[in-house]
Every structure is written in C-alpha cells, then in structure tokens.
Structure 1
C-alpha cells in the first residue's frame, strides 16, 4: 500500500484494510468522556499522547475510517463514515463535508461495484454517510451490488416509526432519510437482531447501549481473532476506565456493561480490538491486570 491513508494487516485468512477518511483533533476530552476525570488522562499521558489526546488543548484526537474486510472471497465494508454534502446542522464537523473516501477506496483496490456487504455497526451520522451518493438530486446506494446489514433495533429507533430516535438528536431524521431510507428503497437493506453469521469467519453480535442496536463484528480465522467494536470505545481511556461512557451513548450504563463484557472477552481470547474512531495505529491489544482493571498492550 502506497497511500498514506491506507494500512493493511491480516487476521488468519482475513485481510483487513484501514481506509482513513479524516483524522484530526476533535472535542475536549471532558466533553467526550464526561465520567473520566482529568487526573486519569494525565496519569496515562504516555499512553494517550499524542496519538489519542493532545494535552496542551485537552482535545481528543479522532479518526473517521472505513474498514475493508476481505473474507471468504467477498469484500465487506465496516461502517462508511460521514459522506459528502450532508445537512448536519447539529454537527459542525460533519455539516456539508466534502471528502474523498471513494477515491481512497479505489486506490486501495476497492471499487463501488466490488463491495458485496456493508456492515453498519450502528446508525449514527459518522457510520452510515457513504452508504449513499447524491445522483442528480436523489440519494442512491453507493455500492450497487452490496447487501447492507443494519441492526434492526437501530432501524426501528431511528426510522420514522420510532420518531427518528425520539428526537434525541436534531439530525436523526436527516441521517435516516439520506443514508438509510434509500438503501431500503433499493431493496438492499438486511435487518438483523441478536446474532448474524456473515460468513465462516465473521459474526455480528448485538451490544446495545451506545444505541439500541449497536453491534460488534467478530473475526476468527486460523486461531487468530479480532473484534470491530464500533463506538463502544472512543478513546483508550475507556479501556482503562470501562465504566466511563461517551457523551454520545443513549444508555451510558448499558454501554458500560457491554464495553466491560467485550473487553473481558478480548483479553481472555486475545482478540485484537478495532474501534471505529481510534487514531494512531487504529487498533489495540487488551489485557487484564491483577487489580481487575484492563490495560492496553500485551
């Protein structure tokens, strides 16, 4: 790979490409993880700075990225970022953004027609945006051959039947109408709940809390393991303090319980943990300490 925005690695027979749409300083640390005090960030400065936190501005370094998974002869995308030209008045970072994710995917050898499956770990603006493209004023699926795997609980909550998330976010209706509803109209949406087997190596598993349908995608091949955790983690500080949920979690207590469960399994089964927004290397290893806490790295 020669593109600076693309990195690759393997998990057994599964190839994984990380395609970065955007990486920059984001919100202040106390705003993103309100339950985690400044003393925790300072204590773990060596781990967090500079890849995940800028001590001078006290802002979190964050990334928008799509993961390309080549498994069992198919090409799968995990989350699709923000997209272009979206009306997101409640999110200045995303509002009417213009980026080049399709170009970066193509330079990585992934054309829209090559994609077989799109996995949305949950329905938030920065995970479903490139689901669709504006073609002559109409939103249509970006990936014409793909099945889009959507958590049924999120589809119900954020769709019209659920009152667009009950008005939790101002942009819920816009997100659903431009990035999810067109996939339904095209007949490419596949709703799932509980657990969904994607192929012999990949399994989707419900992990609600961040949203009602938040999911993780487990990878297992030839004795190696990884888990895409979506927004269960926004920063490594939540590995150190899994009880601390992000400001974006709809049910912080449930999200914390799911995070602890997933981290426990990752430490026990040596799963590489791949969050949606980590900057730096983009993935972390997790271990359990004798104190009962988790740590980053082996």
Structure 2
C-alpha cells in the first residue's frame, strides 16, 4: 500500500494484522461504543464493532533518503509478554524486499518510540548474535526516549526488548540520538508527542506544497480521535497522552494533511464537535 505526499512516497509493509482481540490495548473501546462511530466502517472497524489494526513498518522515500519508520516485532525474539510475539518466523524481510526495499537499500531507520512492536526488526539473529538488520543504515532514536528506556528497563520484558533490539544498534555504532523536534531531512521534521512513552515523536512531512503526518502511537486506532480520553494500556502517562492527542489532532484537523497511524491506514482528520473523526483515503 502506497501513498504520496508531494515528492515523498510512503509504503506500508505489514507484519501482522488483526480484527478484534484489541481490548487488551484499548479496554474502553467496547463494541457498542464502536458501533456509535459509523465512520470507522469499513476501513477501521467491522460492521459488528470489531477494530481493525496492524503492526507494520512505513518506508518513506524522499528525493535523498530511504527511511524505515518503526520496525515491528521481529523474528526469534524472546521474553515478550504476548506469547505469539515470541519466536516468530514471519516473512517480513521477504515482503519488504518484494515491495522494492531490500534491507541493504535502507539508509535510515527511525523509531517513533522504543516499545516492543516498533523496534523488533532493528536487529536479526545471526550465529547466535543480534546484529543490525539494516547494515547500511543510521538508526535514529529520540534522545529522551533512549535515555528513559536505558535507565528504566529493569522489568524482564522491558530488559529483553532493550537488550535484543536497541542495545545492539548502539554497540554496532549505528545509532544516532536526536532531539524530539529534529529536522531529519529537508522534507521531514519530528514533533515531540509524549504520553504514550516519555520521548515519543511523530513525523511531519512537507513536500511540494503537500503535508503528511505519521503519528506513531499517539493513537493506536482512529476511535481515539472521537474519544480522546481512551488511553492505551501501554501509555506511560495516560493524561499526557490524551492532551497530546487533542493538541496534535487540533493542529492538523480540517486541512488536506495525509495522516497515517502506527497501527492504522491513511486518512484526514476532521473536527467533530468537541473531538474528531477520521476520513479514510482511497486505497
């Protein structure tokens, strides 16, 4: 799936898709509540109120850069709290290459934050060692995000994620720490969007008079645009995440900005009373 923002092309490469089974991450999103949001159907929910979500990477091609934004779950990982996320043997790298992006062609990897489902393919297992998957890339980690997880990964699952998917990049000398408002290239600037994690960032794309926004996990699903207070169970600061949603969506609502989520497809944000709704773009 591909979208254009001026001279920038964004390609979604899916690792995992799910319909329903999302209450563990959005416990307030009951079916009856979802059925009150008919604009979610069919792109973001089923007619019976089950949410559609995906774990995916976004490959962003600018005139000068080839960037992978977030890297999913990865294969062969251990110590994940969700059993099916352990010891995966998925075809993600083959799918990435089939889409035209062999790993060696990537020059930049940018993680919006360092949660388990956004860093997994940072590394791959080779002869018993975790090595960078994208051997020619610089990996960009938010400075505040990296510092937080470096110092707050005592819990076994958090320690495993940092140990197998973040630390090996630093040890290989391929990591660059960037500020939350850093300019990545001429077309892409970061926006600090804390709440889901302490140093979470989103990407603002501007090219040839057009704009795009890659939200990361500011919202896991468009239903959170209508219910700004529906914070995720993974949010480090639920009150901050709700405030960030309101501020970010207010900034980009009712403008022709292509918005793509960390777990949902593209659309445009529209004001709807005191909150917002999301209008899907044609696939």
TM over 0.5: yes
Q: 2:237 aligns with which of 241, 251, 263?
A: 251
Where does the alignment leave 5 or more consecutive residues of structure 1 unmatched? 1-6
Q: 2:124 aligns with which of 122, 130, 133?
A: 133
Q: Per-residue displacement from partner, 1:47-89 (whole Å, max 9, x unpaired)?
A: 3345433465x65322011111111322001001100011134
Preserved contact between residue 59 and residue 66 of structure 2 (Cα < 8 Å): yes
Across the two proteins, how many residue pairs are aligned to each other?
280
Match of 1:127, SS state, is: coil
Task: Tell me which stretches of 4 or more aligned residues in structure 1 moved more than 6 Å.
Answer: none
Aligned to 2:96: 105
Q: 2:152 aligns with which of 147, 163, 181?
A: 163
- CA separation of 1:73 and 1:127: change in aligned 2, threshold 3 A: same
- CA separation of 1:144 and 1:28: change in aligned 2, threshold 3 A: closer
CA RMSD for the aligned pairs? 1.8
- CA separation of 1:55 and 1:97: change in aligned 2, threshold 3 A: farther
Shift of 1:210: 0.3
5 Å-filtered alignment, 1:233-244, equals: 233-244=219-230
Shift of 1:37: 5.5
Where does the alignment leave 5 or more consecutive residues of structure 2 unmatched? none
Relative to the length of structure 2, the TM-score reads 0.93
**Stretch deviating more after TM superposition (233-242 or 262-271):** 262-271
Aligned to 1:294: 276
Match of 2:85, SS state, is: coil
CA distance in 2, matches of 1:95, 1:26: 20
- CA separation of 1:28 and 1:111: change in aligned 2, threshold 3 A: closer
Shift of 1:109: 1.2
CA distance in 2, matches of 1:108, 1:89: 28
CA distance in 1, matches of 2:222, 2:180: 27
5 Å-filtered alignment, 1:194-273, equals: 194-273=180-259
Q: Per-residue displacement from partner, 1:219-268 (whole Å, max 9, x unpaired)?
A: 01111111111111111111111222111101011011111111111115
